[in-house]
Amino acid sequence: MLEAGQVDEWFTREVLPLEPALMRFLRRNWRNESELQDLRQELYVRLYESAGSGLPAQTKPFVFTAARNLLINHVRRARIVPMELVADLDALNIAVDMLTPEREVTARDELRQLQLGLDRLPPRCREVVVLRRVEGLSQREVAVRLGVGEDTVEKQMSFGMRALIDFMLGGSGKIRRRPGALRKTKAIDHE
């Protein structure tokens, strides 16, 4: 067995950078967009757990094969599979995504990406993120400046962080909120 730290390191250094390609693969082969996050989560759990008994020699094929198997299992487990859900199991081709080399991303590209991510946030949420992270104000200071409660700042911050992280890791930056959270934050956005 490996130590937790080693698996953590491997996961952060080798698996997470594959996320954009991985999500492209999942999105192309799984029509139900709202389930993608759960699929990713389930896949990450499996990868992490199987790496515990030994790290794979090559991470990329390991990740994509596991992703393919996961989709196949999901289709088999489902009682009723809509015709269009999986185009064709045999056509679940991982080669396309696996062979796409990771594009070299420059710091400038990344900054542009961050700017885009920030622009996509709802205005209130962006304001909170910028005040907290760029201006370096504390939660309390942000709350005072915007005239809202600290719990509101925390909620906006939490949403903003999730959306930005998702966007920076190659996702759409659209984050699902739980129904309760959604209603509350919506009200704040439109006040």
Partner 1 sequence: MNDSVRIEESAVAWLIRREQPEWNEQAQLELNAWLAESTAHRVAWLRMEHGWRRVDRLAALKSPVVASASAAERAQRSRLPWLWAAAASALVSLLAVLFATIYAPYGDTQRFVTAIGGHETVPLRDGSKVELNTDTKLRADVDEKARTVWLDKGEAYFEVAHDGRPFVVYAGDQRVVVLGTHFSVRRDHGRLSVVVAEGKVRMETVHSDKQIPPAIATRGQMIVAEANSMLVAPAPPQKLESELAWRHGYLMFDKTSLTEAVTEFNRYNDKKLGILDADAGKMRISGNFEATNVDAFVRLLQRAYGLTIRDDGKRIGIAD
- Closest approach, Cβ 110 to partner 1, in A, equals 6
Q: Decide if 34 contacts 176 (C-beta within 8 A).
A: yes
What does the block give as tokens for 161?
């962080």
Nearest Cα to Cα of residue 175 among 34, 48, 23, 6: 34
Q: Which is nearer to partner 1, 78 or 99 (CB)?
A: 78
CB 7, min distance to partner 1, A: 9
Q: In whole angstroms, how far apart are CA 103 and each of 18, 20, 21, 51, 100?
A: 11, 11, 10, 26, 8
Which of 126, 113, 86 has its CA nearest to residue 20? 113
Cα R_g (the chain), whole angstroms = 19
Smallest gap from residue 93 Cβ to partner 1 (A): 26
Contact residues for partner 1 (CB under 8 A)? Answer: 8, 11-12, 16, 19, 37-38, 40-42, 44-45, 47-49, 107-108, 110-112, 114-115, 117-119, 123, 126-127, 130-131, 133-136, 138-140, 145, 154, 157-158, 161-162, 164-166, 168-169, 176-178, 181
Question: Toward partner 1, which CB reaches closer, 1 or 95?
Answer: 1
CB 171 to partner 1: min, Å: 10
Count other Cβ atoms within 10 Å, centred on residue 32.
10
Nearer to partner 1, 71 or 131 (CB): 131
Nearer to partner 1, 45 or 87 (CB): 45
